[in-house]
Amino acid sequence: MALLTLGLNHTTAPVELREQVAFDATRLPDILVQLIQEFPDVRESAILSTCNRTELFLAIDGNFELDLVGWLGGFHDVDPDMLVPHIYRFKDLQAAKHMIRVASGLDSLVLGEPQILGQFKDAIRIARNALTCGTELEQAFSRVLSIAKRVRTETAIGRNPVSVAYTSVNLANHIFSDLSLCKVKLVGAGETIQLVAEHLIGQGVREIDVVNRTLANAKTLAASIDGFAWSLDELGERIQYADIVITSTGAPIPIIGKGIVERAQKVRRHKPMLMIDLAVPRDIEPEVGEIESVYLYTVDDLKGVIEKGFEHRQEAARHAERLIDSALDSWQRDIRGYRAVDTIKQLREGIQELSEYELAQALRILESGKPADEVLAQLSRNLTNKFLHSPTVALRSAAEQGDLSLIEATNRLFRIDDIEDLD
């Protein structure tokens, strides 16, 4: 089987397209099984779907021309022709290299962000639970995670992590002179919002409300940051008291519309409001950005907001790329070694079978009373002739056809030049 990675991300596709092909995490187990059923050549499957990327990790029977783009478009009711210009496709070691770069944070919107590693592991876990992750992907994922761990621990990227959450707070710092005076509403209660909350507290923010569809989850997060929890039904009212609104939910459609924000801004007398939408699909209608006193940013906009020290992370990334290339060279050598295992095994078994047959013949001749030295000499000749018969025929045929590569390979294999030097 072969390894194949296919997908699109924040560097190849706009947020409008990415949100259309994002997968619902709760449905992924069934989707993975469906993918395998749809394509007989797909033996194993895993899917990574985040706000910045949707990628298929597959073990296939060598057919790299599978219409996976058509399947992806059909599943999400998107014209495949719209996807084609934004899709990348890698196979075998290039697929592995891409997965390593993703898991290491080298392919993230914010270079080196650590959150993606957890998301990558979640994708593996879901595939295991769906029983669509077999030997091929397990071996690949094990190697990928091992190398990604080295990248994060042996380079500055691992020692100085950044994230989309951190960048969001950094953006707020650029707009407000003193974040400690700001009132913040966080919409959602997942890992991204938790990270945002941690960074906000680190910047001295004291008034943080958590709004979430499941109130219990909002209360859990709010309790950990000494904030207040509200249900999603109360969002329209709570947003009136917000200087900063940061959203990251799994809602399939926007939960904050232009009308809600306009009404809130009237109550606020049009004081500046920063709104950061980290969700894909988006939580905030794009039209909200048309309101004069509102600063709306999406995950794509965060590309232009990179914290100080970016050059250091770039150097760390170059170090990481060298580490990855070296690890891939080792991986490739191992793969080549695996390919020789079956040949070596068959060669050994064949020679062993030949030796045992000739030994049995020699023992029978010895029992008949023939001198041992004659029997041993005959055994030696038989082994030599029978072992070299097929190679000799192949070498003569290659020489007659002008194929010197086989002769050169034989010289290297049996070190014939070294033997001649000993004579």
Active site residues per annotation: 51
Tokens for 303, please give them: 């590309």
CA distance 55 to 199: 29
d(CA 165, CA 278): 8
- DSSP type of residue 65: T
The C-alpha angle with vertex 241 and arms to 179 and 290, in degrees rounded to 5, equals: 85
What DSSP string runs through 310-379? HHHHHHHHHHHHHHHHHHHHHHHHHHHHHHHHHHHHHHHHHHHHHHHHHHHHHHHHHHTT--HHHHHHHH
Residues 85-107 as b/e (b if ≥16 CB within 10 A, e otherwise) read ebbebbbbeebbbbbbbbbbbbb
The answer to whether 21 and 72 have CB atoms below 8 angstroms apart is yes
Could you give the count of Cα atoms lying within 13 Å of 385 in the half-sphere of its Cβ? 7
Structure tokens belonging to residue 262? 């306009």
How far apart are alpha carbons 14 and 141 in whole angstroms? 28
- Label the pairing between strands 244-247 and 183-187: parallel
From CA 216, how far away is CA 125, in angstroms rounded?
Answer: 25
Whether the bond between 252 and the residue before it is cis, its omega within 30 degrees of 0, is no
398: three-class secondary structure by DSSP: helix
CA dihedral 411, 412, 413, 418 (to 10 degrees): 80
* 73's tokens: 């478009």
Residue found under tokens 């005076």: 181
Place of tokens 């783009």: 69
